[in-house]
Amino acid sequence: MRTAGKLILATLAATALFALIGGGALARNLSVSERNFEFIWNNAMTGKARLSMFDSAGLGAECKVTLLGRFVERTIVKELTRKIGELNHGETAECRESERSEMAFRLETPAEIRYRAFTGTLPIIRSVAIGVVGLRARIRERFGMECVMRTTALEPAVFEIEEITSGVLNNIRADETRTIRLNAEEPCAFFTPGRFTGRGLILNLPRITSLVLRLI
């Protein structure tokens, strides 16, 4: 009887431990403390860089970039490609162009932010990957020809929100392994696919407190 009692207690203890661990693992949603945010690529900030857009032929530029946006809701469902926010304004400054190009960055329509994935062991999240659909960046050759990089659902610009510490969102990094074809309707369609690079900063709006991400 003593042996059976010990087995029952051990089973109950294991079940309770599994429940505690599983509680975080089963959490389906994320929440953000603020809906409005900005992404900033500015090499004047420690450890940060400008946002670059180049093709493999060297056509492109790097600029100080600010993107303003908002989450659709403060609750984020972890579902692949689900729309979680929008970028509604973009600005560039102090661009450094390649020898044969310059970059004009614009958002002609709101760009859509979609959830992609996260890394970490729940309940701790280390990074969150997002895809941006509808983002347009125009590369203009010095002789007047223009190329447009337009992100789509099939070829989104992918960014990783990384170095999440105690839920505080810190950095955003462009996934430079992702290539995006230049718009086939433009006269420069023969140029090779482009890519974004650079690590930036995430801030909430207004800049009063940190932007915090939590499991719910």
Longest dimension (CA), the chain: 90
Q: Are strands 75-77 and 136-141 parallel, antiparallel or unpaired?
A: unpaired
The token pair at 208 is: 């009063």
Q: Is residue 143 in some structural domain?
A: yes
Element counts in the chain: helices (H) and strands (E): 1, 16
Confidence class for position 8, pLDDT limits 50, 70, 90: very low
Half-sphere exposure of residue 25, counting CA atoms within 13 Å on the CB side? 7
Check residue 16 and give its pLDDT.
39
Check residue 191 and give its pLDDT.
58
Give 96's DSSP letter: E
Q: Is residue 47 in some structural domain?
A: yes
Q: Is residue 152 in some structural domain?
A: yes
Q: Is residue 90 in some structural domain?
A: yes
Check residue 206 and give its pLDDT.
78
Helix (H, G, I), strand (E, B) or coil at 175: coil
Check residue 163 and give its pLDDT.
87
Q: Is residue 7 in some structural domain?
A: no
Summarised one tens digit per residue, pLDDT across range 35-50 is 999 999 998 887 899 8
Strand order in the sheet with 136-141: 101-106, 136-141, 146-150
Q: Which structural domain, as residue segments, surrounds residue 134? A: 28-215
Summarised one tens digit per residue, pLDDT across range 61-114 is 788 899 999 999 999 988 888 899 999 988 888 887 766 556 665 656 689 999
Q: Is residue 19 in some structural domain?
A: no
Residue type, 17: L
Check residue 215 and give its pLDDT.
87
Q: What is the mean pLDDT of the chain?
A: 78
Cα dihedral sign for 135, 41, 113, 22? positive
Q: Is residue 105 in some structural domain?
A: yes
pTM, to two decimals: 0.79
Q: At 185, phi and psi to the nearest 5?
A: -80, -10
Cβ burial 31-52 (10 Å sphere, 16+ → b, else e): ebebeebbbbbbbeeeebbbbb
Residues 37, 86: contact at Cβ < 8 Å? no
| Range among 138-147, 163-172, 201-210 rated most confident | 163-172
Summarised one tens digit per residue, pLDDT across range 129-162 is 999 998 887 766 666 667 777 888 988 999 999 9
| Rg of the chain (C-alpha set) | 22
Cβ burial 59-75 (10 Å sphere, 16+ → b, else e): bbbbbbbbbbbbbeeee
More confident of the two residues 56 and 11: 56
Number of domains, the chain: 1
Q: Is residue 3 in some structural domain?
A: no
Check residue 207 and give its pLDDT.
76
Q: Is the predicted pLDDT of residue 115 greater than 70, yes or no?
A: yes
